[in-house]
Amino acid sequence: ETGSGGNGLDLLWPFTTTRIYSGQIPTVRDILAGKPRTSPPVSWSIHVPSDVTGELGKMVILPCTFTHPYKTFDRTLTAIWRIKEPYNGTVVFKCTSQSASELCKTAVSYKNKYKLFGNPRHKDLSIRIDNLTWSDSERYFCRVEFSGDIHDKYESRNGIKLHLIASPRIINITVSSNGDHTFKARCTAEGEPAPALTWTSPHSSNLTSVTNTNHRVTKELQYLTHDGKYTCTAVNSHGRAEGTVYFYKFKASDSSFFLILIFVPLGIKVLVLLVILGLTLFPRGTFLYLQQLVTPSVIPCQSQLTTSISQYPKQGDS
């Protein structure tokens, strides 16, 4: 792709636009006469693919190489990557190298997920994007700037479109009430391409409804009538995922049994709590103290009774 400056002809190719200078191009007569063919001087160009595909949650490389008309360049070089649009788009990565012996030091890396993969001094501006998310699916534009004695800057004009693929993933599966004593099951999955959802249930005649939003799909199974296992399956060209939910509707005849299941364990817990509370408030020393208070009041009575009996003489004594 072309940038600024230079006199020549711009040629538009499927992936890049290259500038070739006019002049010194041999004619047919020169070629037939066997005259040596001279190559046109190298000019500015940027080479990028039109599309790159990455997988959600993984990393991807965005390639970008360029040429320039200088034999050597030992001044400041800056590499820049933008998104959305060229020239004015948001900068997500930027690095600067002050000389040919210095590495390109990162000045901007949005969310610290953009890393330089190529070597700008070797005419390679490629970057790596880590941990891909849905928001990374954008159009990217690379740019190189020369500073110092030479002031030049070139930027890709059409950019690279980053496409994301993803195997299916169940992100939500629930059973809820419709508000009229009926129930429905809902399953939401995501993937790219958007997955196809299928419900497997004890009763196959349930009505369904489907909602699509970009890479996310929701499918509802309405008016659940049968107890049992309900399974949601999501499938696309990159894989398969399943989620399961169980539905049981309690009947009136089961209410007493249901109450027993709830209150018997609760009563046991309350009883154990009372025992522990009693031991905490009335430790063993308290009971011993109470026993000591009661025992002295009984012993004097026995002593007095023995004494009164011994005062009467036995028969036969004088």
174-232, pLDDT tens digit by residue? 998 887 778 899 999 999 999 999 999 887 767 888 989 889 999 998 888 888 999 99
What average pLDDT score do residues 101-123 get?
95
Query: Domain check: are 54 and 107 in the same one?
Result: yes
H or E element: which one contains 108?
strand 105-109
Given the structure tokens 């901007």, which residue do they identify?
Answer: 108
Query: Domain check: are 108 and 198 in the same one?
Result: no
Q: Which residue has the higher pLDDT, 34 or 236?
A: 236
What average pLDDT score do residues 250-275 get?
72
Q: Which residue range forms the structural domain that includes residue 269?
A: 257-285
Predicted structure pTM score = 0.65
* Domain boundary residue, one of 158, 187, 214: 158
Q: Cα 216 vs. chain centroid, distance in angstroms?
A: 14
- Is residue 80 included in any domain, yes or no? yes
- As a whole number of Å, the CA-based R_g of the chain is 43
Contacts of 106 (CB under 8 A, 6+ apart): 93, 94, 95, 115, 116
Q: Is 89 left (phi over 0), alpha (psi -120 to 50) or beta?
A: beta
* Domain boundary residue, one of 158, 187, 212: 158
Q: Cα(219)–Cα(234) distance, rounded to whole angstroms?
A: 10
- Is residue 100 included in any domain, yes or no? yes
- Is residue 16 included in any domain, yes or no? no
